[in-house]
Chain A
Amino acid sequence: MNLSITTYCRIKNNQVWINDVEIFKGIPNSEKDFLKQLYQHLKIDYPKFFKMDNLSKLGLLTVALIRDENTKLNYAADDEVAIALQTEMGCLDSDIEHQKNVTRNAASPAVFVYTLSNIVIGEIAIKNKWFGESLCLIGKHNDLTDLISYSKSLFLNNKAELVITGTIDSVNNEHCVNLFLIEKEKDGTNFNEENIKKLITH
């Protein structure tokens, strides 16, 4: 089966690239943080965004960028899109915030719910109304063996027509995300570990 990376979104150092073309750069020292700047730049109207932790905000915006670029996502059936992400630090921001709340005897459900690494996937699924397969792995960005094998197996087992996969991390306002849209296509960059690593590290 020919599987290709057809759309690739990267966010690092408050810069955004789609398929290696820089499309947005955050304004430093603004009173609005980078994620809010990007949200406004994309003209998204989704008030729930402001209740989310940064990891979920980052995932939501990255998928919105991919969806703007590749309209196939608009035509897929609601259970044909799968999401498989890997994060190294998980939901560390929310973990630390929740622990502070626990220490001062004031735990909040609005923070606690984000202390699960997979919530970002739930937020993406809700926003896009996708009911498909989903998976959240934890590991370093240079060890994507299982993430890639699993993403491939989704196609082999007819569990998905389109797969959004890649790495995502957001800690202390440092965001790093590399998400790929994978399709059954001959044209495009072949979907394998070597090519993914090249795109992530170049």
Chain B
Amino acid sequence: MIFIGAENIISPLGQTAHANFKALLNNETGLKAKKTNLSEREMFLSSFGEPDKFSLVEHSIQSIQNSLSQIDFDLLKQHRVNLLLSTTKGEVQKFKEGKSEEAILGIYAQKIAKEFAWLAHHQVISNACVSGVLALVMAHDLIKSGDYDTIIICGADKVSEFTIAGFLSFLAISDEPCKPFDKNRTGINLGEGIATIILSKDASLFKNEMFKCLGGSSANDANHISGPSRTGEGLFRSISKTLKQAKITPEQIDFLSGHGTGTSYNDEMESIAFDRAGLSKTPLHSLKGYYGHTFGATGLIESAICLQSMRANTLIASKGFNELGTSKKINVLQEHLEKPVYTILKTASGFGGCNATVLFQK
């Protein structure tokens, strides 16, 4: 059995996972209209300040330290520990500063890992928007095979001119706060943030309530590098494999934490995959209406909220959603919902046709 807990989130909504969860319960959003150098119009960003300014190294260390405060550190020191850093672009502002060589993600990782001298190893995973969920799957599998006793996963990305300009060129950025799965959705908002989660073979490592991570899987659409599959093939396969491995039926899933970016094609694809996987009735949300899309952090921020939901037996509403706008019927939560939560499926999909899913259980 692999255990999971000690979650932290650093976002414009708060510096701990609990503070973030409370902000979501109060329907707060990090998305604010901001002016950038890249567009005449204001755009909605969930950011700490101007693009490129958020210090990723400093705050990643802070996030990891917060998670470490939630575990038995003396016990951890007896463990073989790996640090998995999930990011798409890391210190991407270095490109603008003309220091391209310093933007290499391995350098970002070294700056963080050197703060934690007791680590047996550290590793960067950079797999577009599924990086965070895939890091959870990888961590589960590496602990299961005995390579490590404990793995700390930290996901981080910042709002940068680099990514804003890229998504503007894709015409993928919405002029308003995003509306995942809604009929009137018009695209994504960008966000920045960091989240840390700890997985261990040892339940006694965790000071507070911990949960089980039942593992997961990934699958590729084998279809298009920037457009989701019309049949939701990769996501469907990833969900199916994950359920089969864990011997869990769709009916046992209490809640589905979707990716829900707010683009027309992505959300439609997810609805098809969820329907094919027998999850059309399962309560579902996207958190992009609170955080925007935080890329390498998104899977971990959203998973940390899943763990908070299991602690509080409360599911968070899908902000920005009013009327279903996908061809397949899915059960998008419009209000927060108090209900016992035992089993949660978390999914993510991203550029490169990648999809990943992971299961948590109380």
* Interface residue ranges, A against B (CB under 8 Å): 78-79, 88-90, 92, 95-96, 98-99, 101-103, 107-109, 112-113, 115-119, 121-123, 125-126, 128-140, 145-146, 149-150, 152-154, 156-159
Contact = CB atoms under 8 A, between A and B. Distances in A.
B51 to A, nearest CB: 11
Interface string B288-322: 00000000000000000000000000000000000
B26 interface: no
B128 interface: yes
Interface of B: 38, 82, 88-89, 95-96, 100, 103-106, 109, 121, 123-128, 134, 138, 141-142, 144-145, 147, 161-162, 165-170, 215, 217-226, 233-234, 237, 241, 245, 350-354
A132 B220 contact: yes
B218 A119 contact: no
A146 B106 CA distance: 14
Given A90-B126, A92-B104, A121 B354 contact: yes
B169 A112 contact: yes
A166 to B, nearest CB: 16
B220 A115 contact: no
Contacts of A88: 104, 106
B170 A133 contact: no
A138 B147 CA distance: 19
A63 to B, nearest CB: 13
A146 B225 contact: no
B222 to A, nearest CB: 5
B218 A115 contact: no
A123 B121 CA distance: 30
A135 B138 contact: yes
Given A126-B224, A146-B82, A119 B352 contact: yes
Contact of A134 (B124, B144, B218, B223): B218
Contacts, number: 167
Given A131-B219, A138-B125, A139-B106, A125 B100 contact: no
A107 B169 contact: yes
A169 B225 CA distance: 19
Nearest to A113: B226
Nearest to A130: B222
A130 B219 CA distance: 9
B162 A134 contact: no
A95 B89 CA distance: 9
A103 B170 CA distance: 17
Contact of B166 (A92, A107, A149): A107
Contact of B121 (A92, A113, A122, A145): A145
A146 B141 contact: no
Contacts of B237: 79, 131
Given A131-B237, A150-B141, A153-B145, A138 B121 contact: no
B226 A109 contact: yes
Contact of A125 (B103, B124, B353): B353
Nearest to B240: A79
A78 B220 CA distance: 10
A182 to B, nearest CB: 15
B137 to A, nearest CB: 9
A115 B128 CA distance: 10
Contact of B126 (A109, A117, A125, A149): A117
Contacts of B220: 121-122, 125, 130-132, 134
Given A134-B218, A139-B124, A109 B166 contact: yes
Nearest to A103: B96
Contacts of A149: 142, 145, 147
B217 A133 contact: yes
Contacts of B141: 150, 153-154, 157
A135 B135 CA distance: 9
10 shortest interchain CB distances as A-B pairs: A122-B352, A112-B166, A138-B124, A125-B220, A107-B169, A99-B95, A107-B165, A153-B141, A102-B165, A138-B105
Nearest to B245: A157
B169 A129 contact: no
A101 B245 CA distance: 45
Contact of B144 (A95, A103, A157): A157
A144 to B, nearest CB: 10
Contact of A146 (B142, B226, B350, B351): B142
Nearest to B353: A122
A52 to B, nearest CB: 9
A78 B219 CA distance: 11
A146 B142 CA distance: 8
Contacts of B125: 135-138
